[in-house]
């Protein structure tokens, strides 16, 4: 009431006298508007000992002074917060509430009753962590009532599995029979790798698969082996993208003599050897030419399957070797597996960790010793010696890459009908410095097996880069056919082809449409002065030689060098003829020398007596300098030459040098020569008889310089019907038998 009173009258009334309590009504207040009405209100209040109030409100009015208070008192009361009316908790309905803070409240009876119905947390944790089947669940309760309690390793073959197996061919009986009857089979070798020697298990699997089977390895694996992987007749080994790698070399020392005719010896430590592996022997002066298969290792005694063919004293190095990581050579009985195929993966020779194998030549990666062997889509790398050795007929090596081999990329020995197609050779022949007697190439052809006849050997569409030489070796037969075409040779230090033979030689060699860049000299030569064979019927045609020369040497007879392009930016001879090479046809070549320094930069240089040789229709351009070079040079001292003609050549000399230097007995005709201060044709001196006449006829020479120069003492020279700018000059002592007539000269 006080609050309402204050709010109602604080703004509307001026309180000047006490109000009478009896005038405090509960009804509405009458609004007095006229003067008579105000007078009535005044009179009424005065009659009750009240004081006149000027009022215009419409609320309730308290007229008694005894029950009223002032506005200030009302405001003070309103502002009090100390419970001025002494209100109790019971009066507001909270009589049962205890005066305690939340954190100090006790557990209520109801809460305790509820908690009493809950499990203890430690007991629950212990129960849920219990893995000893606390509820005693049985296999039947989980739907496995029929399952037997046996480990995987001890499970028997199920009825369904046995039914499936009954439909298969047993490996050890029926499969071998089927394969032998010519029906191919496929066997998947999915064993994981990771042992120190995967060879024994893989060999056992290959043997069980039988002849004509295809063995497919698990993809992406590396199989390390300490023994050769021996393929059987007709088998295909599909590496399926995996790698077979030679294990690290193991060596020890013999503690007994290794005696020829025996098959056992003792060593310091035989722990690195096992049956099925191979050993060989070597010391500072020699090494065993063959390796020997181990049949048993007992303590430090090693016994081999065959007798030794050489004798070595106690103390000789004994090394585990692998002749062919993958091989078609069957070491038991020394037979050959035919029709094998290795494909689709990597063969890694681990050359860095097999250094002794490299020096002993026992480190081939693949050996195809049987007939009709094939290698396809292989990366053959890090071989201690040779990448692939082929020792039989009808080999096919296709789309293989050879990298970082100690010796040859491919070694083909003495057999027929080999094809090397679309292969790549990089950094082969890395041990050439320690193999001085080997004319090793990325592809080497030899006669180690003593064959009497080569069939066609084809090397095509391949890439040679950073090899000792592209194609090299020894061919000791006179009935070979070697086709080399559409290949690329880069930086082959001994040349793109280096056929240096011993007593025999290849015939019918065709070297065509090859590109040779920045390499050594293309060489055909016999090493022995008494050689009976000849390098005959050979064609070198339509090749490109850039900073690469050619040498035709001892025993070369009947070789055509035609339609080739030579571009030399360094001081070298493009075509070098030496050591009795004869019956040569050097025609229609284009030769350009741009070197301006150095010597021996002749386009064609013959340092031998020529017989039945033609140098015809070549186009030659020689740069300015170096001095003393020739477009065509026949060295003095090797005359007389017989049946030899230089004809139809177009020669441009940009320097003051000699275009053609002749030897006695050579016919020089119909050449067109431009000179620039030098000599067009020079005749050597000396005496001679018979067919030693030098004939210089129907040539055209223009430019500044001397068209023909005849050295003093020259004999039987005919210079006739030529067209010259300039005159013929003679050195002191020219013979009277020099005839110069009927020439057209412009002085």
Taking only the tens place, the pLDDT of each residue in 678-733 is 899 988 765 555 456 889 999 999 998 889 988 876 677 889 999 988 777 776 55
**What average pLDDT score do residues 123-129 get?**
80
Q: What is the mean pLDDT of residues 311-318?
A: 93
Residues 6+ apart with CB under 8 A from 374: 340, 341, 342, 343, 368, 395, 396, 397, 398
The answer, yes or no, to whether residue 739 has pLDDT greater than 90, is no
Residue 698 within any structural domain of the chain? no
What pLDDT score does 688 carry?
A: 52
The CA distance from 244 to 471, in Å, is 27
- Reduced 3-state DSSP string for 562-594: ECCEEEECCCCCCEEEECCCEEEEEECCEEEEC
State the pLDDT at residue 214. 94
- Which of these, 576, 518, 506, lies nearest to 546 by C-alpha position? 518
Over range 536-543, report the average pLDDT. Answer: 91
Can you give the pLDDT at residue 741?
86
328 plus 194 within the same structural domain: yes
Integer Rg of the chain from CA: 56
Q: Of 79, 112, 127, which one is at a domain's C-terminal end?
A: 79
- Both 226 and 335 in one domain: the answer is yes
The count of domains in the chain is: 2
- 563 pLDDT band (50/70/90 cuts)? very high
pLDDT for the residue 697: 95
Q: What is the pLDDT of residue 687?
A: 54
Torsion angle defined by CA atoms of residues 684, 685, 691 and 694, in that order, rounded to the nearest 10 degrees: 40
pTM, two decimals, is: 0.72
Nearest to 285 by CA among 359, 364, 354: 359
Burial class (CB in 10 A: 0-12, 13-18, 19+), 590: middle
Q: 450 or 726: which carries more pLDDT confidence?
A: 726
Q: Are residues 182 and 75 in the same domain?
A: no
d(CA 215, CA 187): 5
The more confidently predicted of residues 591 and 77 is 591
Chain position carrying tokens 């557990």: 107
Examine residue 603 and state whether it is found in any structural domain, yes or no.
no
Task: State the pLDDT at residue 20.
Answer: 41
- Specify burial of residue 309 (Cβ count, 10 A radius: 0-12, 13-18, 19+): exposed
- Mean pLDDT over 505-519 rounds to 85
pLDDT at position 396: 96
Nearest partner of 502 among 469, 538, 539, 530, judged by Cα: 530
Q: Are residues 183 and 323 in the same domain?
A: yes
Quick one: pLDDT band at residue 522, thresholds 50, 70, 90? Answer: confident
Q: Identify whether residues 222 and 330 lie together within a single domain.
A: yes
Q: What is the pLDDT of residue 519?
A: 85
Lowest-pLDDT choice from 33-37, 250-254, 316-320, 606-610: 33-37
- Please say if the pLDDT value at position 333 is more than 80: no
Last residue of a domain, one of 312, 344, 376: 344
Q: Which residue has the higher pLDDT, 633 or 175?
A: 633
Q: What's the mean pLDDT in 77-83?
A: 85
Strongest mean pLDDT among 28-37, 106-115, 158-167? 106-115
**Is 263 a member of any domain?**
yes
For residue 52, is pLDDT > 80?
Answer: no
Which range marks the domain in which residue 27 is found?
Answer: 2-79
More confident residue, 15 or 36: 36
* Average pLDDT along the chain: 80
Residues 211 and 334 reside in one and the same domain? yes
CA distance 60 to 7: 11
Higher pLDDT, 474 or 354: 354
Give a yes or no: residue 485 inside a domain: no
CA dist., res. 735 & res. 126, Å (int) = 127
Show the beta-strand stretches assigned E in 306-417.
Answer: 317-321, 326-327, 329-330, 335-336, 341-348, 366-368, 374-381, 388-390, 396-398, 401-403, 410-413
pLDDT at residue number 660: 94
Kindly state whether residue 422 falls inside one of the protein's structural domains: no
Return d(Cα 244, Cα 242) in angstroms, integer. Answer: 7
DSSP per-residue codes, 198-225: -HHHHHHHHHHH-TTEEEEEPTT-EEEE
Maximum Cα interatomic distance, the chain, rounded to a whole number of Å: 189
**Cβ–Cβ under 8 Å, residues 555 and 535:** yes
Quickly count: other Cβ atoms within 10 Å of residue 26's Cβ. Answer: 5
- On whether the CB atoms of residues 384 and 361 are closer than 8 A, the answer is no
> Percent of the chain, pLDDT > 90?
35
Sign, CA torsion 69/74/75/77 = positive
Who contacts 186 (Cβ-Cβ below 8 Å, separation ≥6)? 213, 214, 216
Q: Euclidean distance between the first and final Cα of the chain, in Å?
A: 154
| Same domain assignment for residues 336 and 201 | yes
In a domain, 184, yes or no: yes
Identify whether 427 is part of a domain. Answer: no
pLDDT, tens digit, for every residue of 212-271? Answer: 999 999 999 999 999 999 999 999 999 999 999 999 989 999 999 999 999 999 999 999
Higher pLDDT, 2 or 236: 236
* Higher local confidence (pLDDT), 382 or 52: 382
- What is the predicted pLDDT for the residue at 486? 97
The answer as to whether 49 is a domain residue is: yes
Looking at residue 677, its pLDDT comes to: 87
Reduced to 3 states (helix: H, G, I; strand: E, B; else coil), residue 264 is strand
Residues 182, 33, single domain; the answer is: no
Q: Which residue, chain included where needed, has tokens 């078609």?
A: 328
Q: Are residues 68 and 202 in the same domain?
A: no
- Residue where a domain terminates, one of 344, 368, 387: 344
pLDDT at 108 over 90: no
User: Residue 217: its pLDDT value, please?
Assistant: 92
């Amino acid at each position: 009431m006080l609050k309402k009173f204050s709010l109602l009258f604080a703004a509307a009334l001026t309180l000047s006298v006490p109000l009478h309590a009896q005038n405090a009504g509960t009804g509405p207040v009458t609004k007095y508007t006229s003067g008579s009405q105000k007078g009535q209100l005044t009179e009424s209040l005065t009659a009750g000992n009240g004081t006149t109030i000027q009022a215009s409100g419409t609320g309730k009015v308290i007229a008694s002074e005894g029950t009223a208070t002032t506005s200030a008192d009302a405001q003070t009361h309103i502002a009090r917060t100390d419970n001025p009316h002494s209100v109790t908790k019971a009066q507001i309905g909270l009589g049962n509430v205890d005066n305690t803070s939340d954190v100090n409240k006790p557990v209520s009876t109801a809460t305790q009753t509820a908690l009493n119905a809950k499990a203890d947390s430690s007991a629950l944790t212990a129960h849920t962590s219990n893995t000893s089947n606390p509820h005693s669940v049985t296999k039947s309760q989980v739907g496995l009532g029929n399952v037997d309690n046996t480990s995987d390793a001890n499970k028997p073959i199920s009825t369904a599995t046995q039914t499936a197996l009954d439909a298969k061919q047993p490996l050890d009986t029926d499969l071998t029979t089927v394969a032998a009857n010519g029906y191919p089979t496929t066997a998947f070798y999915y064993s994981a790798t990771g042992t120190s020697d995967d060879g024994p298990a893989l060999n056992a699997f290959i043997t069980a698969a039988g002849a004509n089977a295809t063995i497919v390895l698990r993809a992406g694996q590396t199989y390390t082996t300490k023994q050769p992987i021996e393929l059987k007749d007709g088998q295909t080994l599909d590496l399926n993208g995996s790698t077979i790698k030679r294990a690290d070399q193991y060596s020890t020392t013999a503690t007994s003599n290794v005696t020829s005719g025996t098959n056992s010896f003792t060593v310091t430590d035989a722990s690195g050897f096992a049956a099925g592996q191979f050993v060989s022997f070597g010391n500072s002066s020699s090494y065993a030419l063959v390796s020997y298969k181990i049949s048993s290792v007992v303590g430090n005694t090693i016994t081999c399957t065959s007798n030794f063919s050489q004798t070595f004293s106690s103390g000789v190095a004994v090394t585990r070797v692998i002749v062919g990581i993958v091989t078609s050579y069957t070491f038991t009985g020394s037979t050959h597996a035919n029709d094998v195929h290795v494909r689709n993966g990597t063969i890694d020779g681990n050359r860095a960790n097999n250094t002794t194998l490299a020096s002993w030549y026992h480190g081939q990666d693949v050996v195809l010793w049987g007939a009709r062997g094939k290698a396809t889509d292989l990366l053959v790398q890090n071989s201690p010696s040779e990448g692939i050795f082929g020792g039989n007929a009808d080999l096919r090596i296709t789309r293989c890459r050879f990298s970082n081999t100690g010796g040859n990329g491919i070694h083909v020995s003495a057999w027929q009908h080999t094809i090397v197609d679309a292969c790549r050779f990089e950094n082969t022949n890395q041990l050439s410095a320690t193999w001085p007697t080997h004319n090793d190439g990325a592809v080497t052809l030899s006669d180690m097996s003593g064959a009497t006849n080569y069939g066609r050997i084809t090397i095509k569409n391949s890439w040679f880069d950073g090899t000792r030489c592209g194609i090299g070796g020894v061919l000791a037969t006179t009935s070979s056919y070697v086709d080399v075409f559409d290949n690329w040779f880069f930086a082959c230090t001994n040349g793109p082809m280096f056929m240096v033979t011993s007593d025999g030689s290849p015939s019918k060699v065709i070297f065509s449409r090859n590109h040779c860049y920045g390499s050594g000299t293309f060489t055909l030569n016999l090493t022995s002065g008494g050689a009976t064979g000849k390098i005959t019927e050979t064609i070198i045609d339509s090749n490109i030689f850039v900073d690469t020369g050619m040498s035709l040497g001892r025993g070369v007879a009947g070789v055509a060098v035609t339609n080739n392009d030579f571009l030399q930016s360094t001081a070298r001879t493009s075509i070098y003829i030496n050591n009795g090479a004869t019956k040569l046809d050097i025609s229609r070549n284009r030769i350009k020398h741009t070197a301006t320094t150095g010597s021996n930069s002749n386009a064609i240089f013959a340092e031998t007596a020529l017989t039945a040789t033609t140098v015809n229709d070549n186009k030659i351009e020689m740069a300015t300098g170096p001095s003393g070079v020739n477009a065509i040079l026949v060295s003095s001292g090797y005359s007389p030459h017989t049946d030899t003609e230089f004809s139809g050549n177009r020669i441009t000399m940009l320097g003051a040098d000699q275009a053609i230097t002749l030897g006695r007995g050579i016919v020089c005709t119909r050449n067109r020569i431009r000179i620039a201060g030098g000599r067009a044709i020079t005749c050597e001196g000396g005496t001679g008889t018979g067919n030693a006449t030098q004939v210089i006829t129907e040539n055209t020479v223009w430019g500044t310089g001397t068209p023909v120069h005849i050295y003093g003492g020259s004999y039987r020279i005919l210079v006739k019907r030529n067209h010259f700018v300039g005159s013929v000059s003679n050195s002191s002592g020219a013979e009277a038998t020099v005839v110069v007539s009927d020439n057209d000269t412009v002085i």
